[in-house]
Amino acid sequence: MTVDSVMANELPVLTEDLVMLRDTVRKFVANEIVPIEGELRRNGATGIPAEILGPIQERARRSGLWCFETPEKFGGAGMKPLALAIAYEEAAKHTYSSPDVGCGAFGYDPPNILQAGTLEQQDKYIPPAVDSGSQWFMAVTEPSGGSDPARSIQTRARRVNGDWVIDGRKMFTSRADVATHGIIFARTGEGRDGITAFIVTMPVKGMSIRKVDVIRDHHTTEVTLEGVVVPDEDVLGEVGGGFNLSQRWFNIGRIKIAAQSIGMATAALEIAIEYAKERSTFGKPLAARQTVQKKIVDSFIAIQAGRWLVYEAALRTERGENPKNVASAAKVFCTEEAFRIVDRAIQILGGMGLTREMPLEHWLRALRVLRVVEGPTEVHEMVLARALLGSAATGKA
């Protein structure tokens, strides 16, 4: 019996198409990724090596599971937000499921804010990226802070002879060392309306990249920009409109992160359930101990609740509503709860839970990161507190 079969088998919002999508991604992950990852983990691999990933990516393309979010006209699967959330959850049920969904098995969507670009920019950048499976970076955070980019961005872009010249430093930029393109947010004026997004094509003259090791194994870097020249045609959106663009990207990003977290949590709970049924101590299976049962039931309830928050955020986005508050709630609840669920699963497995024989320690590290990126928990709590308490939340009379 799987966790989903207890309550969520035929959720009322799931149409036949969505059930089919869920089952297709689930089967793909179970057949293509899960069987190879045990050995990779034991050998200390931090992801799926390119020579193994390539053929899996080809099969994902043929199955219509390539670049989930990218519109079909650009060669992607064109999933709407609810479908995207469902696919992300399923694609996260294996070890290397975060930050890149399916460890890149399903391609890399060019950042969705690129769809806010001009038709020329979309045609120039999106189809080749989808076709080649290349990666993008998004550089918002700086050494001066990431929680409050409207205030902390100090990287400057100046107009020089019709072009833009960028100077500054970016911190924690994921994938800058492997990407073919990136989007850099720089200050062109003051305040939140003084930030502009620029598209760059790698390698970029004047850009240096330093690897920064963090708790999870991924491409995390610090980027220094010295006199980087960007032509005016590569400004993305309006000059001064970069902050709003980044918020649109973050809203859908938070729904995806929340869905991924639910996927990891569900897979962890399934491992814990199987172990609890098989392992005996003091003459009884662990499953017969009430403290173990409580861990399992608490995890199950949190998964169900988190999944509904994700669905609500996705459906509101699909209806054209601003999903900001519910996306924040989903991001906080799912990442925090998933971290606890994986931690409880480790506790149920004891020492085994901490080994690389199991994906649990990998998920714990991945989820620890997800509680900070795309807005730390406390910042989303601040957003929600302001929505609930109005001006009283600012403490100003």
Ligand X SMILES: Cc1cc2nc3c(=O)[nH]c(=O)nc-3n(C[C@H](O)[C@H](O)[C@H](O)COP(=O)(O)OP(=O)(O)OC[C@H]3O[C@@H](n4cnc5c(N)ncnc54)[C@H](O)[C@@H]3O)c2cc1C
Binding site residues, ligand X, CB under 6 A: 138-141, 145-147, 172-174, 214, 220, 369, 372-373, 375-376, 378-379, 382
User: Which residue type is seen at 174?
Assistant: S
Pairing between strand 220-231 and 207-211? antiparallel
**Burial of residue 321, with CB atoms counted within 10 A of its CB: 0-12 exposed, 13-18 middle, 19 or more buried:** exposed
| Omega before 35 within 30 of 0, i.e. cis | no
**Given the complex with ligand X, which of 56 and 139 has the nearer CB atom?**
139
**Given the complex with ligand X, which of 82 and 364 has the nearer CB atom?**
364
Q: Which residues 6+ apart lie within 8 Å of 294 measured at CB?
A: none
Considering the complex, what minimum distance in angstroms separates the CB of residue 85 from ligand X?
Answer: 21
Pairing between strand 195-201 and 235-236? antiparallel
Assess contact for 369 and 220: CB atoms under 8 A.
no
**Given the complex with ligand X, which of 214 and 229 has the nearer CB atom?**
214
Considering the complex, what minimum distance in angstroms separates the CB of residue 185 from ligand X?
Answer: 8
Q: Is 173 strand, coil or helix?
A: strand
Residue with tokens 């205030």: 151
Measured from each CB, the residue nearest to ligand X is 146
Considering the complex, what minimum distance in angstroms separates the CB of residue 219 from ligand X?
Answer: 9
Assess contact for 385 and 325: CB atoms under 8 A.
no
**Given the complex with ligand X, which of 304 and 377 has the nearer CB atom?**
377
Considering the complex, what minimum distance in angstroms separates the CB of residue 292 from ligand X?
Answer: 32
CA triplet 115, 120, 125: central angle to 5 degrees?
60
**Given the complex with ligand X, which of 141 and 196 has the nearer CB atom?**
141
DSSP calls for 1-14? --HHHHH-TT-TT-
Q: Which residues 6+ apart lie within 8 Å of 207 measured at CB?
A: 200, 223, 224, 225, 226, 228
Measure the CA–CA gap between 385 and 202, rounded to whole angstroms: 41
**Given the complex with ligand X, which of 48 and 369 has the nearer CB atom?**
369
Considering the complex, what minimum distance in angstroms separates the CB of residue 179 from ligand X?
Answer: 10
**Given the complex with ligand X, which of 21 and 257 has the nearer CB atom?**
257
**Given the complex with ligand X, which of 22 and 254 has the nearer CB atom?**
254
Measure the CA–CA gap between 294 and 4, rounded to whole angstroms: 18
Q: Which residues 6+ apart lie within 8 Å of 119 measured at CB?
A: none
Considering the complex, what minimum distance in angstroms separates the CB of residue 177 from ligand X?
Answer: 12
Which of 322, 343, 332 has the alpha carbon at shortest distance from 372? 332
CA 388, 390, 395, 397 torsion: positive or negative? negative
Considering the complex, what minimum distance in angstroms separates the CB of residue 244 from ligand X?
Answer: 16
Considering the complex, what minimum distance in angstroms separates the CB of residue 374 from ligand X?
Answer: 6
Partners of 281 in beta bridges: 284
**Given the complex with ligand X, which of 75 and 111 has the nearer CB atom?**
111
Measure the CA–CA gap between 118 and 361, rounded to whole angstroms: 43
**Given the complex with ligand X, which of 104 and 375 has the nearer CB atom?**
375
Considering the complex, what minimum distance in angstroms separates the CB of residue 328 from ligand X?
Answer: 13
Assess contact for 366 and 264: CB atoms under 8 A.
yes
Considering the complex, what minimum distance in angstroms separates the CB of residue 339 from ligand X?
Answer: 14
